[in-house]
Structure 1
Amino acid sequence: MNLNKNRIVKNIEIVDLGLKIQDYLIISDLHLGYEQSLNTEGLMIPKFQFEKIISRLEEINSFSATKSIVINGDLKHEFGKITRQEWKEVNSFLSFLQDNFQEIVLIKGNHDNFIPYITKKLEIEVKETFSIENVFLLHGHQIPENIEDIKEDTLIIGHEHPCIGLRSGERVEKIKCFLKGEFKGKNLIVMPSFNFVSEGSDILHEKLLSPFLKNYPLDNFEAYGIENFEVFPFGKIKDIIKVSQQFI
């Protein structure tokens, strides 16, 4: 895999559903325990995601060779509690990270209220934000009050779970994607979810979630589709909309 062709900005490379900056691998929105939440709602989804996440991380690291990892929010799924599945899988996942990375950075997402109860025993700190080189990472569910004072040129957020819904008649094919645009004069990169239960939110047809996006036009944002480790530059959102309307 040629990582150089997957640069989204000059010092950031797309590596499957993650980003690589120096020796850091960044992933976002795992939502461990999501299957149990769906089961309680009556949707009988088998618990397969944990093994898939571990397998995918092992494959990514086989060619990216990163030494540190950043989880950019929403490691677990439930808002107001820790389910049995979450407790088991978060502990197992963090143990896996400790065995395979020299540094672990956890950024708090809006689903992570109870994460410190687990991470404290493993002596892993949960942060609100994190900086690497000239890049500022935060989950993206809220805009910090001091956003104007951030010195870094690039912001990276999760939370949105972006995907592109390509329609052909009645059929819709959803493809996870990265988004790249501007926010208040800075580069803004939006990460897809590292979650294998759901493809995410179709940014062409569904309501946006993040305040970094929902009050600002996406027309000039660029989308990079991800499918089986391949990166597909889709171009600007306004052009994707024009093309997709031809198939309605």
Structure 2
Amino acid sequence: MNLQAEADLTGRFDFYKNALYIRKERLCVVSDIHIGLEEALYADGLHFPLHEGETLLDRFASILDRFSPRTVVLDGDIFHSFDRIARSVQRKFSAIVQALSAECEVVYVRGSHDTMLPSVMGGSVERYDAGGFTMIHGDKAVTDHGFLVMGHDHPVLEIEMERFPCFLYGRGVAGGQDLLMMPAFNPLSPGVIINYAKGRDFLSPLLRRVDTGRLQPVVEVDGEAVVFPALAEMRRLM
């Protein structure tokens, strides 16, 4: 295990309920909220309640209570549907916005699913830069950036047939800058297993240029970060 990477991560960040907290900036990042995934699953024939709205609000409340952030960045794919916002989805979004904006500044980064975001929320952005960090969703390539924080691919680590949402950290892998990929914030998202993924297997054009074997999974367990060896090393062991 790269102990330097573990020290870098645990010294600067906290990981909790699929959210990243950047301590020096008092900034919290969540990605791939996919509000309305519940409605999409219902449309596909699922017939039992999933309580998406309550679950998301509970997770946000836990994050606010734990970190008291100055800023929360919703890092893309805030909505699930590309082409319409149902009333039930609008109500869930409004409740989340109200809960967050009462406590801190909220930044809305547009993702590939967020074609309807400008119609319901003005002031969204393609990227957000703060303290040497660049928050983007990850569906578009960027060249001029700091430490990249991104979502889009919903990484999941599979261990003994059990799946764990994970962060992926790569030191210096993005044009010499560090990269940290976020798991999906919405627990209804099934995620994408990354154990044997190559660059071409990721949706993000940024990851296609990265040596994914250098990426280290980070799994949060009860608020503590468990930093795994790089994927290349894990593959040799497995």
TM-score normalised to structure 2 length: 0.87
C-alpha separation in 2, matches of 1:230 and 1:11: 13
Counterpart in 2 of 1:211? 205
- Per the TM alignment, residue 71 of structure 1 is displaced from its structure 2 partner at its CA by 0.4
Q: 2:231 matched to 1:237?
A: yes
Counterpart in 1 of 2:169? 180
The Cα RMSD (Å) is 2.0
8 Å Cα contact 1:221-1:237 kept in structure 2: yes
Instruction: Name which of 103, 107, 116 aligns with 2:118.
Output: 116
8 Å Cα contact 2:15-2:224 kept in structure 1: no
Counterpart in 2 of 1:135? 133
% of aligned pairs identical? 25
- Per the TM alignment, residue 36 of structure 1 is displaced from its structure 2 partner at its CA by 0.7
Secondary structure (helix, strand or coil) at the match of 1:36 reads helix
Amino acid at match of 1:230: E
Instruction: Name which of 151, 156, 181 aligns with 1:190.
Output: 181
What do residues 153-175 of structure 1 show as CA deviations (whole Å, max 9, x unaligned)?
x11111111110123xxxx2000
C-alpha separation in 2, matches of 1:163 and 1:183: 21
Q: 2:27 matched to 1:24?
A: yes
What do residues 13-55 of structure 1 show as CA deviations (whole Å, max 9, x unaligned)?
3334112222211111100110110111123352312211211
Amino acid at match of 2:223: F
C-alpha separation in 2, matches of 1:29 and 1:227: 20
Secondary structure (helix, strand or coil) at the match of 1:116 reads helix
Q: 2:81 matched to 1:78?
A: yes
Count of aligned residue pairs for this structure pair: 226
- Per the TM alignment, residue 186 of structure 1 is displaced from its structure 2 partner at its CA by 1.0
- Per the TM alignment, residue 183 of structure 1 is displaced from its structure 2 partner at its CA by 1.3
Secondary structure (helix, strand or coil) at the match of 1:179 reads strand
Secondary structure (helix, strand or coil) at the match of 1:126 reads coil
Secondary structure (helix, strand or coil) at the match of 2:226 reads strand
RCO (CA 8 Å, sep 6+): is it higher in 1 or 2? 2
Taking structure 1 as reference, are residues 52 and 229 closer, same or farther at Cα in structure 2, changes over 3 Å only?
A: farther
C-alpha separation in 2, matches of 1:94 and 1:44: 28
Counterpart in 1 of 2:3? none
Q: 2:24 matched to 1:8?
A: no
8 Å Cα contact 1:175-1:199 kept in structure 2: no
Q: 2:225 matched to 1:224?
A: no
8 Å Cα contact 1:16-1:231 kept in structure 2: no
C-alpha separation in 1, matches of 2:236 and 2:48: 36
Amino acid at match of 1:231: A
Structure 1 or 2: larger helix share? Answer: 2
Q: 2:155 matched to 1:162?
A: yes
Task: Mark the runs of 5 or more structure 1 residues left unpaired by the alignment.
Answer: none
Secondary structure (helix, strand or coil) at the match of 2:233 reads helix
TM-score normalised to structure 1 length: 0.84
Amino acid at match of 1:99: A
Task: Mark the runs of 5 or more structure 2 residues left unpaired by the alignment.
Answer: 1-5
Taking structure 1 as reference, are residues 205 and 106 closer, same or farther at Cα in structure 2, changes over 3 Å only?
A: same
